[in-house]
Amino acid sequence: MHVIDSHTGGEPTRVILDGGPDLGTGSLAERARRLATDHEEFYLSVMREPRGQPAMVGALLVEPVDPTCVAGVIYFDMGAVLGMCGHGTIGLTVTLAHLGRISPGVHRIETPVGVVEVELSDANTVTVKNVESRRVHSKVAVDVPGHGVIEGDVAYGGNWFFIVDPSPLPVNTGNIRALTDLAISVREAAIAQGAGGENGEPIDHVIFQGEAPQRDVHSRNFVLCPDDTYDRSPCGTGSSARLACLAADNRLAPGEEIVQHSVIGSPYRLSYQTGPNGGVIPSITGQAFVTAQSTILFDGNDPFKNGIAH
Ligand code: PYC
């Protein structure tokens, strides 16, 4: 299996060029469902240690249905198959350029939740125009065992987010363990108490919005991903959901640009345009760098062939 690894603001992406399972035909949403139900062993073996690493997102290249797209992609981490991934799309675009498959300019990429547009400005800088994002519930109270009631907005940005603003804890690297534990409890409470999307979609990510020390930075976020790691980048789908909340609260005008930092200080430039269905079309600009080009091997005698479960 040939892969190319990159990171976007510190968050790793592994693009799988070949050697993945046969997912058959149909829409990318159908093929993503098949990956989730029939091929868990495959994606865990590529994401888990010793081949993968915590926080890594896999990007399985598949044939797009839409012929105007340069690629189809299904994202996953070691916790779940994802609808979309913003940092992964920036990493994938830089990887396609590294391979000589695309040049600077605008391209379309098909994902299970729809087609996204990417603009490659230079070898490392990409703007993603994400799928329409929306807030579906505001100020939802969840009772978090051991903590008490926490209020948050439920919003969609290609994945489902519970966004807590302001964060119950300061968002800084010294608090990563405590933020992670609290975010897991919030996600579990939200799921148990039915706080999800309009059709009952479960929350898969939690965001705590904190203050940034820099005057020119709008805020700093902590994002918990399905695999219980935190996003080293400001999370593209999470930033999209957050833009939908800012727009719904009239806290950011269409076209106005802000800088969002992750908990480790990596930046995205964010803005939005009003979407056709009452939501927002987010623009996310970030940078990715290729870190490795490898062949992954699976030895039938290896007791950890399918990765370490812990
Ligand atoms: O950037 O959208 C994102 C993302 C999702 C999970 C990890 N990163």
**Of 110, 51, 54, nearest to 79 (Cα)?**
54
Choose the catalytic residue: 69, 85, 225, 245: 85
Quick one: average pLDDT of 33-41? 96
Residues 6+ apart with CB under 8 A from 172: 210, 220, 263
Ligand 1 is surrounded, with C-beta below 6 A, by: 11, 57, 85-87, 225, 231, 233, 235-237
Query: How far apart are the C-alpha atoms of 238 and 72, rounded to whole Å?
Result: 21
Choose the catalytic residue: 69, 225, 235, 245: 235
Q: Residues 255-302: pLDDT tens digits?
A: 999 999 999 999 999 999 999 999 999 999 999 999 999 999 999 999
Q: Whose CA is nearest to atom 8 of ligand 1?
A: 235
Residue 310, pLDDT score: 73
* Domains, in order of start, for the chain: 2-131+290-295 (3.10.310.10), 134-274 (3.10.310.10)
Report the atom number in ligand 1 closest to the C-alpha of 90: 1
What pTM value is reported for the model? 0.97
